Amino acid sequence: MSALTQTQIEMLKERMLTRRGELVTEIKDKLAESREHSSLTTLEQRLEGGDSALADLIASTDMAMVRRDVEEMREIDAAIGRIESRAYGDCAECGEPIAFARLEAEPTATRCVRDQERWEREHGKGPGHSL
């Protein structure tokens, strides 16, 4: 069970919805920008006989920027879903309440500090490094 008060949850939800709005704008801007870039690159290629590897690099960089935003948006949607199902604020690993201070810093957090640190340690080392 979450240890958060309704007021705290509402505050975090409000913040996530604001951030979500920013992300939607950012994604739209970046997509529009990358379309401009790619048409410009295509034009330059036609003029110069071009380097398609560079064009691919630019395209993939733009997509990577958008992908991060899309991922963050998905995390926000998942967190709001957890609020609705009253699972928000509980650690996905141990079920203990996540500290409000941690959620304030990262409203989409799904693990308590201890489990997050362990997860990062395990995944940072890569597969096949267990006992």
Question: Which stretches of the chain are DSSP H helices?
Answer: 6-48, 52-84, 100-105, 113-125
Nearer residue to Zn ion within complex by CB, 11 or 92: 92
Q: Are 4 and 13 in contact (CB under 8 A)?
A: no
Of 15, 87, 115, 119, the one binding Zn ion (CB under 5 A) is 115
Stretch that binds Zn ion, among 10-18, 42-50, 75-83, 94-102 (CB under 5 A): 94-102
Beta carbon of residue 117, minimum distance to Zn ion (angstroms, whole number): 10
Q: Is 26 in the site for Zn ion (CB under 5 A)?
A: no
Rounded Cα gap, residues 65 and 70, in angstroms: 9
> Can you read off the two tokens belonging to residue 87?
């699972």
Task: List interacting residues with Zn ion (CB under 5 A).
Answer: 91, 93-94, 112, 115
